[in-house]
Structure 1
Amino acid sequence: SGLIRLFPKLSKKNVSKPLFKLGDKVGNRWIINGMIGSGGYGQIYYAIDERSEEQLGVAIKTESKIRKGKTSKRMILEQKVLLRLQGRSHAPLMWGSGSTSKVNYIIMQLLSKNLSDIRKQSPYKRFSRSTTGRILIQGIAGLRDLHHIGYIHRDVKPQNICFGLTEVSKHRLIFVDFGLARRYRYNNGQIRPLREGCGFRGTTIYASLRSHEGMDLGPADDLISLYYSAIEMVRGSVPWKRSLHSSDIKMAKFQMQEDDFRAVSKYVGEGFRELGRAVTCMDADDEPNYYELQKIMMEFTANRPLSDPYDWDNDFEEVLQENHLNRHLRF
């Protein structure tokens, strides 16, 4: 079944500086059972709840309290954002958080492999139009929820998008990693004034042109990163895949806009082109019309239900049927 395919791979191998080890008990009830991944900012562990028969387990996200001599703030921010997102469909459930003398941690819902890893299992390293369109509809909803609590993500990319792992959540898209999030709107609804010279934020391949320019970002920039992610999902790569320098990547993104998204939407569909135009014509302090953006994609997917099977549920057979696209997709 699709769920087997989605389950994160556990690594039992040792990383250089593990923050927890196998068998450690966290928060008096969660027993560390393996590592799901590790990155620049910390590690994610798989743990089992000793008080529960429910054996799906949880993910425990960790970071060292001190990083490069400074107190690490990413997880404190992440916890704040996650807490405010509880109860929204596209955010991970948070079971708790805490710290030891050396480590901050958050205990959260165990999720699927990320979309980047799932895409690489596909025969053409891509998703079908229908799966991509429905990922976009859900992604727009998830970003709307985040923006509504006054935050922007600033690092939207396939690696930060997962699905649930239970029967009820397996077709539900979930954003992760709010460590680069920033408050862009105050509680009273006022937009924070845009700053000058902010430096680069995000991941080069998916960052908006504003980010390349070192300008302040807004809700539209998250949507642009989601769109760049979708190009990679449906075409198997972005046009700037082989560019090594940030300046070349920036140029390719600019040229794609100048081309009015013709090349990138060729064989994918007019709706895909329309979405590209719609997300890139907004300013940083614009309030996106999320429903209008979703409508473009609903039309694109012929209103296919979000609960219908996705590519990984049926061995990517829809990808294989899209011969026209598969033949033309080599950037």
Structure 2
Amino acid sequence: MIPYYILRLAPSSSLFYLWCRVCGVFFCEMGSKVETSSATTGATPESIAFPASLISHPRLTPIIQTDISNTRLQIGDQLRERWVIKGLIGNGGYGEIYYAIDTTNGEPVAAKVEPVKRRGKVVRRMILEQKVLLRLQGQPHVPLMWGSGVERTINYIVMQVLSTNLNELRKQCPLKRLSRSTSGRVMQQAIAGLRDLHNFGYLHRDIKPANMCFGLTEKSMRRLFIVDYGLVRRFRRDDGQRIPQRTRVGFRGTMRYVSMRVHDRKEQGPSDDMIALFFCLLEALKGELPWKYINSDTKMKAMKMEMVTDDFAKVSQNFGKELGDFGRTVMNMSAEDEPNYRDLQLIMKRMCGGRHLNEPYDWENDYVEVFTDILSNIDS
């Protein structure tokens, strides 16, 4: 779909040329993705008959691998004689996530598993996640949990099945970025999700695009869900009293997104989750973080500090005043400060031009708004 004002440009126009170049890359990449996805990932969701209760979307719907062997569970295995494993959604350093069917009602679920012991030590990450998820049930940006427990040599949590994560949704764009409209609305929802988590007295401590997904029903496909609560920590008791900060702590998080305090091994607060969210926003708009290929803790922190020292002038020039406003606001907070979630949401509302949260996102319209953002910047 080419915007009307592009069609009115002369064929020799630089904007028209750029549009054609971008679209050429776009359609070439789309073709290559179609060829490789079916060839390298086993079965698509449709081939294992997704129930009618879930939407089937070419970008949102996760790829389900049915050709699995070196995994903790196999096709046909059951958890609590209720949830039957049908395929693998994904895996990582801490465990695996399976696609399963609830035999009591035929509904799809996601089963997250990890070993009870690793290197001879009891793994407590999923035990903590289960407790936190249970407390957070009913919050709009938290996945529903259907059950949890221990079976054979694994801990498991059975929860709502969700979409491909935000990081992969961004990568599906040929330019590997998201539009201001989509980014601003995603961030508004993420801010709300973190506000709810913080109100319960917990810090997430691993905010990143890979831990953000969307629903897979008609009602939830434009609702953001924050996942992976295995690194949470209480910072406030139920009576509202802050837990005293430790003077020295271990590293928790994903280095690419953590705040400077985390680089310094200092105690985190709510603002550190928000700083990580700022780096997620920068990556969404830019396509990658400036320190993507840096492995040194010290060098990465220095590059982040350069952005603060520059008062976000460069990123504001390239990606809009709102990006700098958001960064400046969260970077000026101490670990003890309570974020003003409403003000941060208003900044993001300005970024997306007041678009409604339930309007289509980039992956629903072939990332056209990403290209129009670029063309608008050139035009201005």
- TM-score in same-fold range (> 0.5): yes
Partners of 1:86 and 1:263 lie apart in 2 by 41
Partners of 2:373 and 2:348 lie apart in 1 by 18
Contact map agreement 1:42 1:61 (CA 8 A) in 2: yes
2:304 corresponds in structure 1 to: 253
TM-fit CA distance, 1:51: 2.2
1:317 corresponds in structure 2 to: 368
TM-fit CA distance, 1:12: 2.6
Runs of 4+ in 1 over 2 A off after TM superposition: 1-4, 12-16, 323-327
Partners of 1:325 and 1:67 lie apart in 2 by 52
Letter in 1 for 2:60: L
Q: Please give the secondary structure, in 2, of the residue aligned with 1:155.
A: coil
Partners of 1:15 and 1:261 lie apart in 2 by 48
Partners of 2:353 and 2:324 lie apart in 1 by 16
Per-residue Cα deviation, 1:170-215 (whole angstroms, up to 9, x for no partner): 0000000000000110111011111111121101100100000000
TM-score for both structures, normalised by structure 2: 0.83
1:4 corresponds in structure 2 to: 58
Equivalent residues in 2 for 1:274-293, closer than 5 Å: 274-293=325-344
Which of these residues, 68, 75, 79, is aligned with residue 119 of structure 2? Answer: 68
Matched, 1:22 2:75: yes
Q: Please give the secondary structure, in 2, of the residue aligned with 1:32.
A: strand
1:213 corresponds in structure 2 to: 264
Contact map agreement 1:124 1:326 (CA 8 A) in 2: no
Per-residue Cα deviation, 1:270-297 (whole angstroms, up to 9, x for no partner): 1111000001110101111111111111
Contact map agreement 2:80 2:151 (CA 8 A) in 1: no
Letter in 2 for 1:284: A
Equivalent residues in 2 for 1:1-331, closer than 5 Å: 3-14=57-68, 16=70, 18-54=71-107, 57-324=108-375
Letter in 2 for 1:200: F
Q: Please give the secondary structure, in 1, of the residue aligned with 2:328.
A: helix
Partners of 1:318 and 1:38 lie apart in 2 by 32
Partners of 2:314 and 2:81 lie apart in 1 by 55
TM-fit CA distance, 1:98: 1.4
Larger radius of gyration: 2
Letter in 2 for 1:24: D
Contact map agreement 2:115 2:153 (CA 8 A) in 1: yes
Q: Please give the secondary structure, in 2, of the residue aligned with 1:5.
A: coil
Contact map agreement 1:2 1:313 (CA 8 A) in 2: no
Partners of 2:344 and 2:370 lie apart in 1 by 24
TM-fit CA distance, 1:48: 1.0
Partners of 1:2 and 1:48 lie apart in 2 by 16
Q: Please give the secondary structure, in 2, of the residue aligned with 1:141.
A: helix
TM-fit CA distance, 1:53: 4.2
2:38 corresponds in structure 1 to: none
TM-fit CA distance, 1:2: 7.9
Contact map agreement 1:184 1:191 (CA 8 A) in 2: yes
TM-score for both structures, normalised by structure 1: 0.95
Contact map agreement 2:61 2:216 (CA 8 A) in 1: yes
Q: Judging changes above 3 Å, is the alpha-carbon distance between structure 1 residues 226 and 15 closer, same or farther for their aligned structure 2 residues?
A: farther
Contact map agreement 1:12 1:35 (CA 8 A) in 2: yes
Per-residue Cα deviation, 1:100-126 (whole angstroms, up to 9, x for no partner): 131110000000011111111002100
Partners of 2:278 and 2:334 lie apart in 1 by 16
Size of the aligned set, in residue pairs, is: 325
Letter in 1 for 2:88: M
Per-residue Cα deviation, 1:194-245 (whole angstroms, up to 9, x for no partner): 1111121101100100000000001000000011011001110112123231
Q: Please give the secondary structure, in 2, of the residue aligned with 1:248.
A: helix
Contact map agreement 1:2 1:312 (CA 8 A) in 2: no
Contact map agreement 2:85 2:100 (CA 8 A) in 1: yes
Q: Judging changes above 3 Å, is the alpha-carbon distance between structure 1 residues 30 and 272 closer, same or farther for their aligned structure 2 residues?
A: same
Where does structure 1 lack aligned partners over 5 or more consecutive residues?
none
Contact map agreement 2:79 2:151 (CA 8 A) in 1: no
TM-fit CA distance, 1:325: 7.3
2:18 corresponds in structure 1 to: none
Partners of 1:3 and 1:172 lie apart in 2 by 15
Partners of 1:309 and 1:164 lie apart in 2 by 14
TM-fit CA distance, 1:3: 2.7
